[in-house]
Amino acid sequence: MKAVCWHGAMDMRVETVPDPTILNPRDAIIKITSTAICGSDLHIYDGFIPTMKAGDIMGHEFMGEVVEVGPSVQKLKKGDRVVVPFPISCGQCFFCNRELWSLCDNSNPSENAGLIEKLYGHSPAALFGYSHFFGGYAGGQAEYARVPFADVGPIKVPDGLTDDQVLFLSDILPTGYMAAENCNIQPGDIVAIWGCGPVGQFAIKSAFLLGAERVIAIDRFPERLKMAHEMSGAEILNYEEIDVGEALKEMTGGRGPDACLDAVGLEAHGMGLEGFYDKVMQAVRMETDRPNVLRQAIVSCRKGGTVSLAGVYGGFIDKVPMGAAFNKGLTMKMGQTHVHKYLRPLLERIQNGEIDPSYIISHRLPLEDAPRAYDIFKNKKENCTKVVLKP
């Protein structure tokens, strides 16, 4: 089959690789009909995620048709059309039983879990196509994929819904929704959201669905700010043109937003001296992640408010204002998304017409064009907001 394979920073290749096979009785094989490039894939593309190996298959946002199931799979059959969540979860451990699906104890093989335990203390769930820290599983930017624990993860797609409408249930729609849910939004709340990429767009939409009175969206790309305003009704700030902290004070009567949401993560684009400092510290490996947005969110948030992190962080950061977080009594919530928890509720919202996630797609390209797709998505060429690849 054809698959998108990693060969180093900025080096993606479409190669012919062996077809996946059933390795465990709980496996299924999916023929992929749509797959996407995620913003967190760019962290791998840019070389910030360790333990990648040449030839690793990329991708964790995918859906398709079941073509084979293992003997223990009871809930799926050949021909079913499914969306696959990006965390791999067993459905039986302490964490899965508490709907903390991205913290599954059993999906990351022990030889890989040991690597990440040294860094994090414990291993989270495995992820499709996201390094050997997170299981070393082949991803979904391919013609076929093996899906472990197939009775637990994939959700069947009802007739009448297109791939474009449901594909993002695999990751970014639940990610934006959970990040907004973590904001503990109350009637009348003002939510500030840094980052108007795909996750940020869905966080904006979700914040309004959950009852926010106002959402203030912060970015520097005009096309993304325009989308946030026109598609969701957010107020917008271009951080290259204005002091965001001062603007947020003015827009909230000096109090600050009730919740601040970081939908950017470890590759935040900093301005001035602070941005230069982070780039230097990252270059000399004194920090792995650039926490510019996190700093702004902590300082900008009102006293007693909530800071929610949806953007991926992978390692170590510097100069985080913990004194501000402590003395303002902030609540901080974060983590990889418990996608399984949100599949059914968000599918129902799509069916009811409350949200059509397809509006964020700017490019639909064949799988063979993946190297170009990564380039235009990474470098914001051609007003690219989201790429869907078709095997």
Q: What is the dihedral of CA 67, 71, 74, 76, to 10 degrees?
A: -10
Other Cβ atoms less than 10 A from the Cβ of 220: the count is: 15
Indicate the pairing of strand 144-147 with strand 155-156: unpaired
Alpha-carbon gap, residue 275 to 271, rounded angstroms: 5
Contact 179, 199 (CB under 8 A): yes
pLDDT score at 286: 80
DSSP state of 81: E
Residues in the chain with pLDDT < 70?
A: none
Contact 263, 193 (CB under 8 A): yes
pLDDT tens track for 245-265: 999 999 999 999 999 999 999
pTM of the model: 0.96
Other Cβ atoms less than 10 A from the Cβ of 91: the count is: 16
Query: Cβ neighbours of residue 253 under 8 Å, at least 6 residues apart?
Result: none
pLDDT score at 160: 93
Q: Residue 208: left (phi > 0), alpha (psi -120 to 50), or beta?
A: alpha
pLDDT score at 197: 96
Give the three-state DSSP class for 244: helix
Cα–Cα distances in angstroms (integers) from residue 328 to residues 254, 280, 325, in the given order: 15, 30, 5
